[in-house]
Amino acid sequence: MKKYERITAIITSLGGVWIMVYAWRTLKLGSIHIPDAGLLPFLCGVGLAILGIVWLLVLQQTKGEDKGVEEKRIWYRPVISLILMVIYGWAMESVGYITSTLLFVIAWQKVIEREKWLKTMIISLLGTFAMYALFVYLLKVPIPPEFFAR
Amino acid sequence: MDIFAGLINGFSIALTGTNILFCFLGAVIGTAIGVLPGLGPAATIALLLPLTYVIGSPVTAIIMMAGIYYGAMYGGSTTSILLNLPGEAASVVTCIDGYQMARKGRAGAALGIAAIGSFIAGTVAVVGLTFFAPPLAEFALDFGPPEYFALTTLGLLLAVTLSGGSIIKGLIILFVGLLLAMVGLDPISGKIRFTFGSIVLQGGFDFVTLAMGVFGLGEILYNLESTLKTEIVTTKLGKVFPTLKDWADSKWAIFRGSVIGFFIGIIPGGAAVISSLASYAIEKKYSKHPEEFGHGAIQGVAGPESANNAASSSSFIPLLTLGIPGNAAIAMIFAALMIQGITPGPFLVAEHPDVFWGVIASMYIGNAMLLVLNLPMVGLWVQMLRVPYGILAPIIVLFTTIGVYSVQNQVFDIYSMLFFAALGYGMRKLNFDPAPLPLAFVLGPMVERSLRQSLLISGGDLTIFVTRPISGTLIAVFVLLIVGQTAFFIKRKMGGKKPPAT
């Protein structure tokens, strides 16, 4: 855990420095009389750079407290879900809302939840129907059309 | 319009069929998400933000959002008492004595006193809001850019220091939130910032995508890491109406909790969690039998539950009068108002009295609804805990995806929401409290505008922030807070003790 925190602290500091340079050179700071678009970003960059260093120093001083992750957690489930969601976003425009939603829920139930086919199909069909009824019929939200109906 | 005339006008608005329906909907959704662990009011309001585009009336939309927020405080106690699992962060302290009462067969009494205490405190706080908010709004009419700069920066700093987490991490999130708010066109100079050539980013990030990503999906992704199993409630509820002795034991705890919660709720960052902790500490300190605390003392349930409800209602005061959201859930309501084209602040009461008084009046009605929803129907809410997370999670994903798409009908918003979801997940993994992020995001433009306007007005003279009485006082508090926190931090380090959190 501490290792990841150290990496994040370094990224925070470096990010802060980059923002300072970007604000100073590209956005321009202006003067104290007429501040320009880069003033507040520059100040935020300074803040991040300093906080990253302070965090790193605090981490250096707190020895022997790396207990690691407190409980057994399954890291791949959120990663796979995020990938599925990205694909879903892409598919929504490519194949249409209904098809992509149905396929997404099937994939979620099979890959993430490892459900049986019958339960998967019931949840997928009901979920897709409920969302369609709520957003399209009730709330009149325009959705991407199906690929076969274009 | 005086207070009573305003309130009567508010009731005439809140008591229309549509508003009663949406108030009820808000109360039901709020109780439901309060009962369900793993989904908070901020996340739920974020998920429902796109609906505000569809609900035409701003009063109706805000009545529902407010109902969700204070409804969640009612529902949060249920799992704390029955399962020793807080449905809400504000109900953590209720677990201590509430669960012990349940183990002794007094779950019904604990749930009953929590609901009644919540009702009384919620109503007391709304009465306070009714009489406190209009004069504060009038006072805030004198605020200029320096006052707003001092107020927003102090509010943000308080939100970080009072959140209870690491101050370093809180400040980092604060700066990240401010920077995210700067993406797009600079409103004063017209320069394009942090867009990296993207045309869609020129309009900046939409608050809905940020809120839904960090709070809605971020929470889902984090919960997916653990195999969250639905616990079956086996505890017998018994009678949910407290006995006369229960009432006698807890009446002062409810009263104190209401007052503590009301005042803590006004402070940005204070709100429900701190007020419930403060109330518990005070009840234990002033109890004739402090040894009973931790073993099922009814005051340990009545006080904190009253406090968190009072705080949730009074946290509307800075929003409605100053336009400053004090916590993440209130920031979502701030965004909902902005979506409806209404800027919360001192002019709200004069320009949109229907929203101001309508929402306040609806809180009286909502509190009464919640009492009915939570006392006789508590068994029904307990049944909801049987819904498997495996079904709930993909439904929320579908809801957020189509919800965020519906805002501007562009897939880019889905991708930016997923970016924020990954950010929210990473923040939770590294123990960052995400609450300051939406606050900084919504207050960012106000901070920047007021800073630059102040410098333009004063011709670059920085003393403008300290020479005016209101901004000077606020800046003094700001400096005292920083000096105090730094001294506390150094003292801890010099004493060889580890800091509370990094």
The letter for the amino acid at B370 is: L
Please, are residues B323 and B139 in contact by the beta-carbon 8 Å criterion?
no
Please answer yes or no on whether B459 and A139 come within 8 Å at the CB atom: no
Instruction: Nearest by CB to B225, from A39, A58, A78: name it.
Output: A78
Per the prediction, chain A carries an average pLDDT of 87
Nearest CA-CA partner of A65 in B431, B221, B491, B487: B431
In chain A, the residue whose alpha carbon lies closest to the alpha carbon of B458 is A33
Structure tokens at B463: 């003393």
- pLDDT of amino acid A64: 59
- Residue B43 CA to residue B154 CA, distance in Å, equals 25
Within an 8 Å CB–CB cutoff, is residue B449 touching chain A? no
Matching residue, tokens 């100053």: B322
Helix (H) or strand (E) holding B175: helix B167-182
Within an 8 Å CB–CB cutoff, is residue A145 touching chain B? no
Instruction: Nearest by CB to A113, from B217, B390, B414: name it.
Output: B390
pTM for this prediction = 0.81
- Structural domain boundaries in chain A: 2-61, 76-149
Within an 8 Å CB–CB cutoff, is residue A100 touching chain B? no
Chain B interface test: which of A21, A51, A75, A80 (most B C-beta within 10 Å): A51
Burial of A25 (0-12, 13-18, 19+ CB in 10 A): exposed
Residues of A whose CB is below 8 A from B456? 33-35
Within an 8 Å CB–CB cutoff, is residue A5 touching chain B? yes
CA B81 to chain centre: 22
Residues of B whose CB is below 8 A from A73? 225-226
Please answer yes or no on whether A141 and B226 come within 8 Å at the CB atom: no
Nearest CA-CA partner of B348 in B34, B62, B91: B62
- Residue B454 CA to residue B236 CA, distance in Å, equals 62
Residues of B whose CB is below 8 A from A3? none
- Residue B182 CA to residue B179 CA, distance in Å, equals 5
Min distance A75 CA to chain B CA atoms (Å): 6
Please answer yes or no on whether A27 and B429 come within 8 Å at the CB atom: no
Residues of B whose CB is below 8 A from A104? 394, 397-398
Check pLDDT > 80 for residue A53: yes
Within an 8 Å CB–CB cutoff, is residue B227 touching chain A? yes
Within an 8 Å CB–CB cutoff, is residue A35 touching chain B? yes
3-state secondary structure of B352: coil
- pLDDT of amino acid A103: 95
Within an 8 Å CB–CB cutoff, is residue B492 touching chain A? no
Within an 8 Å CB–CB cutoff, is residue B263 touching chain A? no
Residue B461 backbone zone (phi > 0: left; psi -120 to 50: alpha; other: beta): beta
CA distances from B8 to B60, B65, B123, B278 (A): 17, 22, 16, 35
Min distance B26 CA to chain A CA atoms (Å): 17
Min distance B395 CA to chain A CA atoms (Å): 7
Please answer yes or no on whether A104 and B398 come within 8 Å at the CB atom: yes
Please answer yes or no on whether B188 and A78 come within 8 Å at the CB atom: no
Within an 8 Å CB–CB cutoff, is residue B133 touching chain A? no
Within an 8 Å CB–CB cutoff, is residue B391 touching chain A? yes
Residues of B whose CB is below 8 A from A90? 411
* Helix ranges (DSSP H) in A23-137: 39-61, 76-95, 97-107, 117-132
* Helix ranges (DSSP H) in B287-352: 299-314, 316-322, 328-339, 348-351
Within an 8 Å CB–CB cutoff, is residue B460 touching chain A? yes
Instruction: Nearest by CB to A47, from B175, B224, B455: name it.
Output: B175
Within an 8 Å CB–CB cutoff, is residue A59 touching chain B? yes
Please answer yes or no on whether B221 and A5 come within 8 Å at the CB atom: no
Please answer yes or no on whether B225 and A73 come within 8 Å at the CB atom: yes
Within an 8 Å CB–CB cutoff, is residue A66 touching chain B? no
In chain A, the residue whose alpha carbon lies closest to the alpha carbon of B180 is A41
pLDDT digits (tens, 9 = 90+) for A84-122: 999 999 999 899 999 999 999 999 999 988 889 999 999
Instruction: Nearest by CB to A89, from B171, B393, B411: name it.
Output: B411
Within an 8 Å CB–CB cutoff, is residue A148 touching chain B? no
CB contact residues (below 8 A), chain B span 36-65, against chain A:
51, 54
Instruction: Nearest by CB to B227, from A74, A90, A105: name it.
Output: A74
Please answer yes or no on whether A33 and B224 come within 8 Å at the CB atom: no
Please answer yes or no on whether A140 and B498 come within 8 Å at the CB atom: no
Structure tokens at B473: 């006082």
When pLDDT is cut at 50, 70 and 90, the band that residue A70 belongs to is low
Min distance B390 CA to chain A CA atoms (Å): 6
Contacts for A17 with CB less than 8 Å, ≥ 6 apart? A45, A49
Within an 8 Å CB–CB cutoff, is residue A70 touching chain B? no
Please, are residues B150 and B471 in contact by the beta-carbon 8 Å criterion?
yes
Q: What are phi and psi of A42, to 5 degrees?
A: -65, -45
Which segments of chain B have a pLDDT < 50?
232, 498-502
Within an 8 Å CB–CB cutoff, is residue B214 touching chain A? no
Min distance A11 CA to chain B CA atoms (Å): 12
In chain A, the residue whose alpha carbon lies closest to the alpha carbon of B390 is A113
Please, are residues B309 and B302 in contact by the beta-carbon 8 Å criterion?
no
pLDDT digits (tens, 9 = 90+) for A115-145: 899 999 999 999 899 888 888 887 777 888 8
